[in-house]
Amino acid sequence: MRAAAGHGASFLALPLLLLLVVSAEARSAAAAGRRKGEGTRYSVMAFHAAGDGKTDDSKAFEETWDSACRDSGGATVYVPEGRTFLLGETKLQGPCKSPITMQVDGDIVAPSSIWGLKSLTSLLAFYRVDNLTVDGSGQIDGRGAPWWDCYNKKKCHYRPQLVSFSFCNGLRVTNIRLKDSADKHMSVFECSQVQVHNVTVVAPRDSPNTDGITMGASDHVRISSCNIHSGDDCVSILTGTTDVNVTDVMCGPGHGISVGSLGGAGEKQTMVERITVSNCNFFNTMTGVRIKSWQGGRGKANTFLFTDLNMTEVRYPIYIDQFYCPQGNCPEREGGVAITDARFINIRGTSSEQEAIQILCSKSVPCHGIFLHNVDLSWANHTAPTKAKILNAQGRVAGKVKPQVRFRGL
């Protein structure tokens, strides 16, 4: 169409344009099936994707997306089963005319070596798309090994995430499998009403920063029935996030389910509220449930419920850390993110370290309203009892709590 308009002969261009639009529609309607009660299905194959695992299909995906996005009848972008699609950075932008589905039944792979990037991005970047469903039995493989190596040698500053969603309302991600991202597997930023269900994430335990699902500045998020095995947090919840429920997640290996780190440089006023983690299994993770913040940060993190959790050889099953400092060289600083109202109920299993519970809060901004009820943690492969380390925290215990926890008056 652009070529026709470029000829400049306006009397010719209009009919030609119409003709081209009609034929394009006829082509996509013919190539794409219409299913009863649902919108048009736009297969990436109809937009010249090769699906051979070798040809870069990013353009074909973007063109398919653009057509489906302009459709006002609730269209589906279809990635067919039995094929593998090689993608580079692929931008799937909204706003779209109506709810849209991306059905990923085929497999998607990233390039097998470092691909040219100068800034943060993702393999699949959804931007400003409302009422989006991403579903399917396909796998998205980030082939991250060369990136991890490059990062570990301090040669790569930026690494691409696998799938990112930014600025969205109404998102459902179901059934897909994410593997070996160069960086985080799924990120959700500035989104509202998000459901992630039956998603699998798999990456080696020593792959750097390969969080399963990370979110920030988002609200009303539900993550259920997911299997996450990675090199970093299974789920991480960052500043500006409220009303998150994480339930029925198998986590491990990995670093656990984390809130934070909060209050780092560049965060003016941290806020995280109403986070529930329930009915989860942690296997061989670094922490179980954790709230971490930097010294000197500002803002608040409150109303947490961690309940019905099963820990197996988790280093620190219960962990609050107001002195987060991964490089271990942070000077003591005044102030901090105020952590209040965190309840830990029905948490059982084993720790791999003796100090299974760590609640380490600062003198200037102590933690308040910590509540432990029916906690039973034993030290894996040891007969000696587990211990708790409590610093500058106010709270209470009820029922049986093992290890023994004593809150002193502040």
Ligand X SMILES: *[C@@H]1O[C@H](CO)[C@@H](O)[C@H](O)[C@H]1NC(C)=O
Positions annotated as catalytic residues are 255
Sign of CA dihedral 283, 285, 288, 289: negative
Phi, psi of 20 (to 5 degrees): -65, -40
Of 137 and 269, nearer to ligand X (C-beta) is 137
Say if strands 219-229 and 213-216 run parallel, antiparallel, or are unpaired: unpaired
Of 136 and 160, nearer to ligand X (C-beta) is 136
Smallest separation (angstroms) from ligand X to the CB of 8: 36
Of 10 and 381, nearer to ligand X (C-beta) is 381
Return the bridge partners of 111, or none. Answer: none
Of 209 and 310, nearer to ligand X (C-beta) is 310
Smallest separation (angstroms) from ligand X to the CB of 128: 10
Smallest separation (angstroms) from ligand X to the CB of 286: 12
Euclidean distance between CA atoms 99 and 325, whole angstroms: 43
Say if strands 122-127 and 139-141 run parallel, antiparallel, or are unpaired: unpaired
Sign of CA dihedral 283, 185, 223, 302: positive
Smallest separation (angstroms) from ligand X to the CB of 198: 4
Please report, as a single letter, which amino acid is at residue 234.
C
Smallest separation (angstroms) from ligand X to the CB of 266: 27
Euclidean distance between CA atoms 380 and 386, whole angstroms: 9
H helix runs in 34-133, sequence order: 58-70
Please report, as a single letter, which amino acid is at residue 189.
F
Query: SS3 of 102, please?
Result: strand
Give Cα separations from 151 to 60, 125, 155, 160, 179 (angstroms). Answer: 30, 22, 6, 12, 18
Q: Give the residues lining the site for ligand X (CB under 6 A).
A: 95-96, 98-99, 130-131, 137, 170, 175, 198, 220-222, 243, 245, 276, 281, 283, 310, 312-313, 352, 380-381
Q: Which two tokens stand for residue 175?
A: 């059934």
Of 354 and 392, nearer to ligand X (C-beta) is 354
Smallest separation (angstroms) from ligand X to the CB of 364: 32
The b-or-e profile of 163-182 (16+ CB within 10 A means b, else e) is bbbbbbbbbbbebbbbbbbb
Smallest separation (angstroms) from ligand X to the CB of 84: 16
Instruction: Decide if 82 contacts 106 (C-beta within 8 A).
Output: yes
Of 41 and 159, nearer to ligand X (C-beta) is 41
Of 191 and 388, nearer to ligand X (C-beta) is 191
- Of the chain, the end-to-end C-alpha distance in Å amounts to 72
Pick the closest to residue 202 from 194, 192, 212 (CA basis). Answer: 212
Euclidean distance between CA atoms 62 and 289, whole angstroms: 39
